Chains A and B, each alone.
Chain A
Amino acid sequence: MATCTFWIDGKKYEAEEGSNLVDAAKENGVFIPSLCYFKHIDPPLGTCRTCTCKINGKFNPACTESIREGLKVEVNTPELVDIRKALIEMMFSEGNHFCPACEKSGNCDLQHMGYELKVSVSRFPHLFKDRLIDYIPKRMVMEHNRCIKCRRCVEEVFTSDGKRVFMYINRGNDTMVGIDYEQEAKLSESEAENAMKICPTGAIIVRGKSLSIPFGDRVFDLQSSQKHFKHNVIEKPKGANFEKKTIATVSLAGCFGCHMSMLDIDTEILDIAELVSFNKSPLTDIKTFTQRCHLGLVEGGCCNTENIETLKKFREMCDLLVVVGECAIWGGLPAMRNTIPLGECLEEAYLNSVTSEPGENTVPYHEDLPKILDRIYGCNEIVKVDYTIPGCPPSPNHIWKVVRSLLWGEDYSLLYSEFKYD
């Protein structure tokens, strides 16, 4: 095979003619992000589009391009970086990805790609389509909420007699990867595990195998995020005209996990108390605002009318409104109910559950009770939000660094390990 010269972002490289662009770039030290690409699937799938580049001036995925003389490739222009990021955000918005409740979290290509491309908040609305979890297969569970339809399993997993185990079914936005129960039962244990392994998300889970690798010991975990606690985070800001600031905090439809994370700063909270005073907050147990605050930290989204009122009050009383954690940003874990009609949720909880008292089964409704919304809303759907801190929960360092930066205008940098939340 002849060697060809090609260009990536204006730099000259060499590779074998006909080799795949993703591989050729990698050999030359240029990383082109990709999710569905597998070297041995020919022709390449080109389904996830994450490796979209500009090739000889045209948008095309790198994985469906082979090296030829003079090929000019743009990989890391701002436009392309944004397209790639958007595609990953689209996958997060399209599926129902609740990482904290996922077996694959920390071992997940999609999650990793999210970090790699610096996705913090999806620009797209989450679609919350009700998707099936298929428990019927003997050996596996198909978690369709997590499937990104990359097609790897469809093209890769066959029985020994050459039949497919996975196949796309339906079409359009109803497309999903169906599993053939009869063929699945024929797979050997290792073949089944391989299917789980090649899945870039947690859509294919082999029963009894999913938690065999402990957290903190996974492919993408280089080190524990907890070990990087830095004492100097809370140093008193320099400058003569230092002024103590006021903060309010609240947990709406959240689990208080973000507040726990704030407290995880341990004894440094005493240092923080010298810099700021807390007004309305569960930390002080002050129930109503007694003054206007410089900054409000909101955990959790809105699941009822009381949440909306509180959030609006925060907007009114705080100069800066910062939402903390996934729930506040787009709904988070409570938004698991967004795929199910409210009526079904209420009836399951109050009328049809095994613990409901016979004759006592009513859905609570009283003028003194907040009204439950049809779905969980992210805070930015109700009020204007100034800043968001992603994470589930964000690490204490991250939260206080942001607060410090916003209140006293100081730059801060985040370590990769502080921004990783699995």
Chain B
Amino acid sequence: MSLHSLQNNRFSVEPARSGLLSELWRLQLLNKHISRESIKSLARQHELAEIEVEGVTSFYHFFHQKPAGKHTVYINNSIISELKGFERIRETLERETGAHLNSVDPSGTFGLFATPCIGLSDQEPAALIDFYPFTNLNALKAKEIIQKLKQGKLPEDLCDAPQDNIRYTPHNNRTLFFAPYERGQAIKQLSGLGPDGVIGQLRLAELSGRGGAAFPTWKKWDTCRTYKDSPKFIVCNADEGEPGTFKDRVLLNNQPGSVLEGMIIAGYAVGASYGIIYLRGEYRWLLTKLENEIVAFHDKGILGSDVGGIKGFNFDIRIEVGAGAYVCGEETALLESIEGKRGEPRTKWYYPVEKGYLQLPTVVNNVETFAAAARLLQLGSSEYLKRGIPGSPGTKLISVSGDCKLPGIYEIEWGMTVAELLDVCGAEDPFFIQVSGPSGECISLKEKYKRISMLDLMAQKDIRCGGSFMIFNSHRDLVHILMNFSEFFKHESCGVCTPCRAGNFIIERKLERLNNGLADMNDLKELKSWGTIMKSASRCGLGKTASNTIIQSLEKFDDYFKARFSETDNSTYKKFNHSASVAEYEQYKP
């Protein structure tokens, strides 16, 4: 049995505070909100000031301090959802539930909220109802769902099982992730290799982090190994929040074993005994599957004590469920969150490998990195190296969405060109492609012969892709896309540093000006300059990358913006919307 060593979803070595998120989840699911009394009693229980518990509660999107309805509906408002009909679904749901967006209907039955990308971009419009997924919505389907819920049917019985949509794997059986899987095959290699050997294999295969930063995995593990503090932790970052990404969802659904094995391998290599999967709240519906997999691992003897028959190697894994905060994908924010705190990134004073979770040595890697590590050990580095291109070996999972015939997961070998990928996914009139999500980079067709690899960070020659690949056709409004991104960052900023908290707000105001036709080239110049300031001065990756797309699109889509906005306006009178400015007062006309 799994969870044998767990009390209240905590390992015995973890302090009580680490259970705070789970307790808040329990209260949220039970009472549909976290009441003042609950906050009071949690504060007493943890010997904290109430404001501290409130600080944690109010940080997370899925924790409500007012009742959020007997059924809580979250509609995704990511840009992909908007393209696929968000507005119609919102209208339908508002009509059917009687709740306005971001509120609860008068009877308290339905709460209707907008939420950023829920990792179902290949089957949008999508929504979560009581955290169960509903995909490919249309007005009729949405209406039926609400009617059935009103009749007393349960969301768990009505929900969809999201398709994996694995559209492409490398030819000649060179798939890495989706080869037939048998539990324990990778772990079998451990005793033969020893910790040095494991890290050596990773090094030979040049495995690098798949969360986006492409940091060499062997280096991370090797550094963590040198620290003597104990216990050490292996944390799996399954907080896949970058809009347009859903590869980790598919991996966790399709290959949960590979991910667990990867974590166990890491534990063996660095000398850790505890693993924690930080599963984003949006993927709560995957929780049972993962827990079952953990149980199966225990039953097979590859979790628990003397894992895989290796004397003295004890390893266990638990799952922490996030609660709706994009910034928790940042590794130090994620660690804070597991500690039961607000998910605010730490400064880079220490790296997690030295002082991570609970200030103890911690390896944080992405879901895909762990899965790749497991497959790598199973295959051996020489076999692994046959995939990809020199300097960037292996394969990469890419989540394709937007204006194409076949949205879904593409396992490409590093080195595939953008043009090839556009071709296989059936892209329709592609014009603006957003790679690695809103914080990544946008590319135009001029760059379609660039390779996708991890060779070049600055994207001069190649394009690095963290996983999200969103295609927009030539009829899409770029300002609208930028506004969607900017609103996303405004809400998802953790609020700690000025340039990100205020900057994203300011950028949004400026984009509104663009959208209202009040802007000229000078406004565009200012946007670029302000974006650059945010990039230079922000505290963590969120703020540093939030303005990427704005800066790049103004450069790469210069013609588009030039055609749409007039040259710098030096006329004596500024563009001013006179009727809008007096509209409110006109309501008092007798």
Contacts and interface: CB of A to CB of B under 8 A. Distances in A.
A286 interface: no
A90 B502 contact: yes
A interface, over-half SS: mixed
Interface in A1-53: 43-49, 52
Interface size class of B (residues with CB under 8 A): 35 or more
A64 B501 contact: no
Interface centre among A83, A148, A172, A179 (most CB of B within 10 A): A172
A87 B497 CA distance: 10
B310 interface: no
Interface string B515-553: 000000000001000100100111100000000000000
A34 to B, nearest CB: 12
Contacts of A174: 495
A415 interface: no
B510 interface: yes
A129 B536 CA distance: 25
B585 A172 contact: no
Contact of A384 (B47, B505, B570): B570
A93 B52 contact: no
Interface stretch (A97-105, A211-219, A245-253, A371-379): A371-379
Interface stretch (B69-77, B80-88, B574-582): B574-582
Contacts of B58: 169-171
Nearest to A343: B584
A39 to B, nearest CB: 15
Interface in A378-417: 380-384
B49 A381 contact: no
Interface stretch (A159-167, A232-240, A277-285, A324-332): A159-167
B55 A47 contact: no
A383 B572 contact: yes
A174 B576 CA distance: 29
A178 interface: yes
Given A91-B502, A365-B590, A316 B538 contact: no
A167 to B, nearest CB: 4
Interface stretch (A120-128, A254-262, A288-296): A120-128
B332 to A, nearest CB: 11
Contacts of A52: 536-537
Interface in A178-211: 178-180, 182-183
B54 A169 contact: yes
B505 A94 contact: yes
Contacts of B504: 172-173
B496 A151 contact: yes
Contacts of A59: 536-537
B347 interface: yes
Contacts of A343: 584, 587
A165 B497 contact: no
A123 B526 CA distance: 9
A312 B571 CA distance: 12
Contacts of B583: 374
Interface stretch (B143-151, B264-272, B455-463, B485-493): B485-493
Given A168-B344, A308-B576, 16 more contacts: A87-B537, A91-B502, A94-B498, A127-B502, A149-B501, A168-B59, A169-B51, A169-B54, A171-B493, A173-B501, A173-B505, A365-B589, A365-B590, A380-B574, A381-B576, A384-B570
26 contacts: A43-B346, A43-B349, A46-B347, A48-B497, A83-B533, A86-B533, A87-B533, A90-B506, A159-B49, A163-B47, A163-B48, A165-B51, A167-B54, A168-B342, A169-B54, A171-B491, A173-B495, A312-B573, A341-B584, A342-B584, A343-B584, A363-B588, A374-B581, A374-B583, A383-B573, A384-B573
**10 pairs of A and B residues whose beta carbons are closest in the complex:** A175-B495, A180-B51, A94-B502, A167-B55, A43-B349, A363-B588, A59-B536, A163-B49, A180-B49, A167-B51
Interface of B: 47-52, 54-55, 58-59, 325, 342, 344, 346-350, 490-499, 501-506, 509-510, 526, 530, 533, 536-539, 570-574, 576, 578, 580-590
